[in-house]
Structure 1
Amino acid sequence: MAVGELFDWPESIEPGLPWMSEFLTTPAGTPMWDDLTPGQQTALTRYEAISLFSLGVHGSRVFVSAAVMRVHERPYADVSELLHRFIGEENEHLRVLAEFCLRHGGKLYPAPPSPNADHLGRLSPAAREAIVFARVLILQEVVDHHHAYMAADPSLPHAVREIHRVLHRDKSRHIDFGRTLVRTLLGRVADRDRDELPLLAASLEDHLGHTVGTLYNPAAYRDAGIPDGPALRRRAMEHPARLEVHDQMLHRTRTFLRAAGVGRDPAPAPRRVRTW
């Protein structure tokens, strides 16, 4: 059954309840969170839920676009059938997430700025292929970390938990496939020129930081009635409590990348925060 058919969309979501777990809300655990009024805190959980789902929409678009361009190409012949299946499922995820955002949030946040890609021109076509799908995998794993946590959070409304539960079920299979595909693509890079692997490792570690940064959306702060969103973003991202959350969020992905031969230790704090 398609994901969209599993939901009986409510006219509204229970008033007064958060839409995102406090632990995952970007200023949580810092003095900036305590400085917010209860109304601002609840509003921020709602707009950050819309922001997270918007990221899911944009991530599904990237995967579908990349997969459609390659599904009948010779290097992907062995996974063509799986790509067809996942194209359909990701398109359904995109539809459900967008409907939630538009129905209950009245908006989709635009895609965040892309990371600097100037260095990609120096890489081989095989390495660029690996980066395309590794970046998709990184975003899927970060978003699925949120799905898994919030599917089991009893403080959230039933409709919100249910969306996370169903998407986590599907994303787990997609991540397994994505890891297999990325390992295969990295193997082709290693067979061609192992000297490219450290460049890939550096690029992917930068992308991990970029992906975490997309969770800190100044527009969500503004919509929640919080002044000076860029300053709050910078302070929250650099706070030790949030750096610890980032490390927990990325632990699974970094472990996979190390096992795949492109792991790299994160930069030590303090860390520079890319502006939005």
Structure 2
Amino acid sequence: MSESNFTEMLSRLSEKSRVDFYNPYTKFAWPDEVSEGDWWMNPQYISVHNTGIIEEEKTLKALARYETLNLFSLHVHGIRELMIEVAQRIHTPDFADYNEYLHHFVGEENAHMWFFAEFCYRYIGRIYPEPASIPGRAGYGDVWDDLVIFARILIFEEIFDYFNSRMGKDSTIPEIVQQIHAAHHHDESRHVAFGKQLLQRLHERACDTSPQRKEEIERYVKEYMTYSIRSLYNPQAFRDAQVDKPLEVRRAAMTHPARREFHSKVMARVNKFFVSTGIFATAWEA
């Protein structure tokens, strides 16, 4: 995309954000409770789907409930990180051309963080802590650091949009859960479009300044993709669902062939993007 086309895209995205603006604090009619007898997550998205590891419906429904808590908690933690990183770059020389849209971006993400957390506290009383095993990030130099941060943001957005886009249209789950997924998906389509174009520019600039970092960056981003997939298998969710031997079940589910196939589907779009832009020399493997 040429510079003029990118500028035009930013203008369209900013206008779309203005037109679509909503008050997150009044958008949802929060029910008094969400029945534990309902499927809070469509069974095909539960972490043990197609494995045969757990077959009792009561346990699967409990796991669907706590994996919804995990998914929404991950949204909260991921959004907090991206807001911090983006806010640090607004009104700096390298990001001056993106200032207006980045303000919309941060405002929308703040709304998302609030309604995901609000759901968790209203209906379960807590959020899960952030996973402790995030891959460490060394200083790669300004432009590579920018690329790594926005690559992480894109990975986060693409993974969760996989779930949001599907469950936002799923009438088998409680209406409030469906509405939250749908609201997030609606806004994230703009963020993903912006993020991909920005990453292409950051990558071109980084390769021009210090191309020797390229392989190191590719290894790190792939490690982060693996970490992100593993975070969907929260051992505390298995414990809260009263699954016997939760750590063993987690390991068995995470490495099951059916789940590896699912991981590839979740990551397919972002994986293809990284390869097509040259950020990856080879595709990430589940």
TM-score by length of 2: 0.88
Question: Which letter maps to 1:133?
Answer: F
Question: Which letter maps to 2:26?
Answer: E
Q: Do 2:135 and 2:223's aligned partners in 1 also have CA atoms closer than 8 Å?
A: no
CA separation in 2, counterparts of 1:208 and 1:26? Answer: 17
CA separation in 1, counterparts of 2:220 and 2:112? Answer: 28
1:107-135 Cα offsets, whole Å, 9 max, x none, are 100111243326x24x3321122101111
Question: Which letter maps to 1:186?
Answer: H
How many residues in Structure 1 have an aligned counterpart in Structure 2?
264
Q: Please tell me whether residue 22 in structure 1 is matched to residue 43 in structure 2.
A: yes
Compute the displacement of 1:266 (Å).
Answer: 2.9
Show the counterpart of 2:19: none
User: Which 5+ residue runs of structure 1 have no aligned equivalent?
Assistant: 269-276
Distance of aligned partners of 1:14 and 1:115 in 2 relative to their CA distance in 1, 3 Å threshold: closer
Secondary structure of 1:82's partner?
helix
1:1-276 alignment to 2 at 5 Å? 1-34=22-55, 37-117=56-136, 120-121=138-139, 123-263=140-280, 264-267=282-285
Q: Which segment drifts farther, 5-14 or 242-251?
A: 5-14
Question: Which letter maps to 2:33?
Answer: S
CA separation in 1, counterparts of 2:200 and 2:283? Answer: 19
Q: Do 1:3 and 1:166's aligned partners in 2 also have CA atoms closer than 8 Å?
A: no
CA separation in 1, counterparts of 2:227 and 2:84? Answer: 21
Compute the displacement of 1:144 (Å).
Answer: 0.9
CA separation in 2, counterparts of 1:186 and 1:4? Answer: 38
CA separation in 2, counterparts of 1:187 and 1:31? Answer: 46
Q: Do 2:135 and 2:227's aligned partners in 1 also have CA atoms closer than 8 Å?
A: no
- Alignment RMSD (CA, Å): 1.4
Show the counterpart of 1:271: none
TM-score by length of 1: 0.91
Compute the displacement of 1:149 (Å).
Answer: 1.2
CA separation in 2, counterparts of 1:103 and 1:257? Answer: 38
Task: State the percentage of identical aligned residues.
Answer: 34
Compute the displacement of 1:233 (Å).
Answer: 1.2
